[in-house]
Structure 1
């Protein structure tokens, strides 16, 4: 590798090799460190994020670079109460790592963390005077009744009722409600506020909505003007966007009503015996026999099936040109039953085969 360098005579920043070769600093952190180190005095009042924006270091890249600078002692932050009670975040940037004690010493030396005394404020509030004592009677000797009232506090019984143990489904609903602050700071809820909405959230879970889906529905599509009351906004959204109940739950009341009517009628009315069809003598051929007739039948199923096969055999014999009466006589001579359809069909088939030959 060839190396060629010309030392600048103006507009340069001295950088330590410990910074350039630091193993725990990314390139964005090193560039930001060198950039801020070479700033003129009239630009040091800007926040570190503004300098990062000028360098094109934004979003997650800036957060990672700043985190590395803070962890390794190059950047220190401190919140102080400024004029008129306003809080201010002070940033200390150093080109060498500083501990918290070293950073505090630098702040004290620069008088950055010293609050203004009352005498230098405008308008002035005057110098502190001596404490005035006396002029008041002891509590036991104070005449009259004390009109001051302490702030009302809820009784301990109410506190115990509000913080009772929850079921597993209610615990999941409360966890979803308390986690909404991670999605948007406007939806931050306290424990008691979340307990007021647990009942509505549990109803969502009972209707088949998962915890993640419930969180997405509650935290998406917030008003453009912001949320004034997180409790009121979430209660309205839980009530108005409540999903439909499953079909089984919708039919449960109707099913319970039918069961109640059936139970009432079963107690009032006597039991009805099952219907038994009557015995009827079959009108078909052969020996006399009976069967249980349904819908006014006069022939048993076996006789109906035999008659159907006989009709089919007659049509088949007619197609083959066979006389079933002659075949029946031959069957009688052979000792067969002339009334059986199987015998008649076998005889017809045999005769048809002889005729074809």
Structure 2
């Protein structure tokens, strides 16, 4: 984590990678906090792709009016293969200098942060990251922007599925997002009262799933709910259903994949407040001379984490919650 006093007059802000509810609230906080300190702000559309291709516009307090409640990102997002190359990052750095930007605030996940870290290392660009991903897999913060919204979206859908599962005495396998991490699957399974939760972090063989379902049959449960993270080693909800349906023909089995509805929609109040805190803090730490860092919230306090640490490993799920899910099923 480099630290040196810098005179910040102009900053850029971009959103990159997968969108998450609350990104707009973070952009708004960056712009309004900077404006209060007489710092100019440029919004960079389509992430690093837009930085390379000069999709750059001046932002002010009016530019970010009436966006705090909107999902998605007003700056749009995209992936950039060119930015993965040294030549692409050189072009990005040149455009930052062309627009006299002293620093760059990046809003996204670990891929976004890895790009910012390389930009800082190779071209001495001042960067600060704001963690925004529904996966909640970034260390250095208790929650990432968008996670609470995605969690509540998934829970609302699962509650509705539970109603019809009970009415028809069916088994539902519900797949939620989480290719590498099971935060959404774990917490929605507890909150919805699901009988089984399958997570990428917890090795669960199909035979074990069958055993658990047999136990439910013996308990004469005529409806059941299994929450599956898309990255679970069973292959997701569809493949799991194919592998167990012949053993449970007495169940009317259905598969429901929630998919991208978890990324959309208005952010929750919790995400709006989190995004506002982190956006304002990003500007503050830049003015204090911090660079190549990520801002997060730990135990309700702002925490600064070196970018190299933030991208070095994934956050682990809370295994006490795993045990709680097993206890309550």
The TM-score, its normalising length taken from structure 1, stands at: 0.20
Higher strand share: 2
Which has more helix, going by share of residues? Answer: 1
TM-score by length of 2: 0.21
